[in-house]
Amino acid sequence: MKPAASQPSRPTSEPATAAPGAATPSASTLEASSPSEATVLAALQQVIDPEIGCNIVDLGLIYGVAITPSKVTVKMTLTTAGCPMHESIANGVQMALLNLEGVDEVEVELVWEPPWNPAMMTEAGRAFVGWHD
């Protein structure tokens, strides 16, 4: 299966400029076309840290998600500064979100503060790496 995101931009059927007299999309229409936070997080769960094998949501790497019409901003970190996988993972986040309906632009903000620590993992993440308090 060729995934939709193999194209970097999602083709849109919307005309670039609305025709004169056409109805302007309402706020509720824009909101309805945007994915929810849960959908975004589910998409991010498809992205794994290849070294650990666990997805980046359960690893606690996602610090925040902001959704505006057609754009998603992800604030995230990595398990270690200088992580050799950082470029791949950040690109993976973009690609996974560009797969979603209603997302035309993705911004990945990579931050190192606060530094990641294993306590940020979800229960599922902790179970994955075999860490129990």
Q: Give the binding site for another protein (CB under 8 A).
A: 1, 3-6, 8-9, 31-39, 42-43, 46-48, 50-53, 67, 79-102, 104-113, 118, 121, 126, 129-131
Min separation Cβ 20 and another protein, Å: 25
Nearer to another protein, 64 or 118 (CB): 118
Min separation Cβ 64 and another protein, Å: 13
Min separation Cβ 109 and another protein, Å: 5
H/E segment holding residue 110:
strand 103-110
Q: How far apart are CA 105 and CA 83, in angstroms?
A: 25
User: Could you please report the per-residue DSSP string of 14-62?
Assistant: S-SSPPTTPPPPPHHHHHHHSPPHHHHHHHHTT-B-TTT-SBTTTTT-E
Nearer to another protein, 20 or 114 (CB): 114
